[in-house]
């Protein structure tokens, strides 16, 4: 006899699924950090060179690449994306009425 495992479909935001506060912002910061990591890899930058471009020290780059984002605001991470040569567009639109609060997300 095979035991059935109950599976719950996620919302698409692991931070919300875990019940953490500010889940949308946490997810946006994680997505920005992922994009920063991809930009650094795509350009084959060392952490030291990335730090110079971003205007921070190398240990802070390491923190971003390892997901330690508590000391970084969303705005600051966006600044790093720009420092690495990408444009950032901010779009404001109406939310669906079924959702009470607007959400924050990063779209690439």
Would residue 15 count as lying in a domain?
A: no
Please choose, from the candidates 17, 43, 13, the residue with its C-alpha nearest in 3D space to the C-alpha of residue 29.
13
The structure tokens listed for 82 are: 């720009």
CATH number for the domain spanning 81: value is: 1.10.260.40
pTM equals 0.86
Identify whether 2 is part of a domain.
no
5-32: average pLDDT: 93
What integer pLDDT is reported at residue 99 of this predicted model?
76
Confidence label for 54 from pLDDT (cuts 50, 70 and 90): very high
76 is in which domain, residue-wise? 21-108
For 11-45, give the DSSP string: -S-HHHHTT-TTHHHHHHHHHHHHHHHHHHHHTT-
How many domains does the structure of the chain reveal?
Answer: 1
pLDDT tens sequence across 26-41: 999 999 999 999 999 9
């Amino acid at each position: 006899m095979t035991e059935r495992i109950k599976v719950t479909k996620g919302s698409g935001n692991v931070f919300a699924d875990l019940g953490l506060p500010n889940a949308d912002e946490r997810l946006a910061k994680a997505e920005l950090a992922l994009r920063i990591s991809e930009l650094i890899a795509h350009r084959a930058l060392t952490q030291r060179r990335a730090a110079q471009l971003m205007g921070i020290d190398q240990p802070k780059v390491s923190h971003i690449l390892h997901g330690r984002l508590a000391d970084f605001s969303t705005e600051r991470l966006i600044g790093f994306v720009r420092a690495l040569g990408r444009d950032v567009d901010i779009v404001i639109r109406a939310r669906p009425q079924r959702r009470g609060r607007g959400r924050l997300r990063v779209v690439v």
